[in-house]
Amino acid sequence: MNTIGMVCALATFLNIWMGHVFVRWADQRFSNIFAPVALCICAGLGFITGALLSPGMTNSAVLGITGLVFLWDGFEFMRQEKRVIKGHAPANPANPRHQRILKEHALASPVHWLALHPIGRPFTEGEKQAIREKEL
């Protein structure tokens, strides 16, 4: 029985999931994203090097997938900042970088819009304002 496909599928799913969580977590907490970006790029290059040097096909595949996801996450920090600016991801008012974003961009908000209970219709501007004031 060949299990390489299932191992690779599981590695891909888990790496993408953990990368997504890490990018959101680090973006909320780090006032300068240089350190997590550098960490992701270095780790990605390290895992890819390990994949190239690994003698086993399964290990090489998992290391390569992990390395590519880390490299992608390094660039995902820039996209996450754009999501915060557009209000698609919540800003952290305690983070100095997010404080600047909240001051400079009208759409940025500390509200986690997806965590609200659905009301079956779009929020009116008055409801949005009331939610923003309640969250601040």
Q: What is the pLDDT along the chain (136 residues), one digit of tens a residue?
A: 888 999 999 999 999 999 999 999 999 999 999 999 999 999 999 999 999 999 999 999 999 999 999 999 999 999 999 999 988 899 998 999 999 999 999 888 888 877 777 888 888 888 888 887 776 5
The pLDDT, as a whole number, for residue 105 is 92
Query: How far apart are alpha carbons 136 and 116 in whole angstroms?
Result: 15
The whole domain housing 58 covers: 4-135
The pLDDT, as a whole number, for residue 126 is 87
pTM: 0.80
Q: And the tokens for 38? A: 């550098």
- SS3 for 3? coil
Number of domains comprising the chain: 1
List Cα–Cα distances, 90 to 33, 108, 126, in angstroms.
16, 7, 19
